[in-house]
Amino acid sequence: MLELRNIRKTLAGKTVLDQLSLQVERGRTLVIVGSSGAGKSVALQHMIGLMKPDSGEVLVDGRPLHSARGRALSELRRSFGMLFQGGALINWMNVFDNVALPLRERGGIGEEEIEERVRQALALVNLPEVESKMPPELSGGMLRRAGLARAIVTRPPIILYDEPTAGLDPVLSRSIDQLIHKLQHEMNVTSVVVTHDLISAFSVGDQVALLHQGRIVSLGTPRQFQADPEPLVQSFIEAQRMNHVEYGDREQRDMPS
C-alpha cells in the first residue's frame, strides 16, 4: 500500500500541499484530478521521494520513504515506475537507451536481457521500430509512449503517471487508458494517475480524488465522485466538459455524466 499522511509542503512561500492524506491499496488505481497548480505533480514527487515534505509521512507498504536516504531510498524507489509530465526523455540518448536507463541504473542485468526487456516494453506501448531514433524526431504521442515504456521496463509494482494522455488524440488516449488497465489487471500494479482527462479518470480509476489548493476535497468511486454535490467537483466536471465541446471533439463530448 502507498500512503501519504498529513503532508505539508511550502514552496516559494506558498503552501502547496496542506495536510494532504491519501491511500492507494495494492493493485488499485487512484486518479487525482484538479486544476493547474493544485499540487498534483508535487504530490507525485513526494510519493517517489523526489521531494521531501516539511511535515507528514510517505509510507510504502508501511515503510517510511520521506525519511529514507541513500541506499534505503534507492531500494524503496525501485518499487516505482514514473511517467513524468510530458514524457521527459533525455534528448541526446536514443529511444532504446532512454528506455533501458532504469535497468542500467539498477545494474546486474545483462545486455541481452536489457535488449529483450526494452523490446517488450516498447511493444507493450505499441511503439516498435523507433529504438534508434532520437527523442526530438518523435511526435508528442510517441514521446509519451516511450516515457511510458521507460516507466514500466523494470516491471515495478507501483506506477505513477503524470498526465499520461495530455495532448494526445482520443484514439491514442484510450489506448493509454487500456494499457494502464492492463497493467493493473494482469500485473497487479498499484497506480496513481494525475490527469485532466475525465474520460480517462473515470475509466481507469477505482477511486477518483479532487485536489484543490493542496487538499483532497472529494474522493470516491467514479460514480460517487460524479454524484458528489460538492460545488468544486461539479464546477470541475463542468469546466472539463466545456473544454471538450470547445475543441469540437465528438468522442469526448459524449463523456460519462
Binding site for Mg ion (CB under 5 A): 40-41
> By CB under 6 A, is residue 34 in contact with ligand ATP?
yes
CB of 41 to Mg ion, least distance (A): 3
Query: Is the Cβ of residue 40 or residue 150 nearer to ligand ATP in the bound state?
Result: 40
Amino acid letter at 254?
Answer: D
> By CB under 6 A, is residue 167 in contact with ligand ATP?
no
CB of 194 to ligand ATP, least distance (A): 7
Q: Grid coordinates representing 240?
A: 472539463
Query: Based on the number of CB atoms within 10 Å of its own CB, is 94 exposed (0-12), middle (13-18) or buried (19 or more)?
Result: middle
Q: Which stretch binds ligand ATP (CB under 6 A): 35-43, 66-74, 100-108, 219-227?
A: 35-43
Q: Which residue is nearest to Mg ion (CB)?
A: 41
Amino acid letter at 97?
Answer: D
With CB under 5 to 8 Å by kind, the binding choice for 192 among Mg ion, ligand ATP, none is: none
Query: Is the Cβ of residue 38 or residue 152 nearer to ligand ATP in the bound state?
Result: 38
> By CB under 6 A, is residue 40 in contact with ligand ATP?
yes
Among 13, 36, 71, 250, binds ligand ATP (CB under 6 A): 36
With CB under 5 to 8 Å by kind, the binding choice for 56 among ligand ATP, Mg ion, none is: none
Query: Is the Cβ of residue 42 or residue 118 nearer to ligand ATP in the bound state?
Result: 42
Please state the three-class secondary structure of 139-172 as a single string. Answer: CHHHHHHHHHHHHHCCCCCEEEEECCCCCCCHHH
Determine contact, residues 207/219, Cβ cutoff 8 Å: yes
Query: Is the Cβ of residue 37 or residue 256 nearer to ligand ATP in the bound state?
Result: 37
Number of chain positions touching ligand ATP (CB under 6 A)? 13
CB of 84 to ligand ATP, least distance (A): 11
CB of 116 to ligand ATP, least distance (A): 35
Among 39, 49, 135, 156, binds ligand ATP (CB under 6 A): 39
Q: Grid coordinates representing 153?
A: 521496463
CB of 42 to Mg ion, least distance (A): 8
Residues that bind ligand ATP (CB under 6 A): 11-12, 14, 16, 34, 36-42, 85
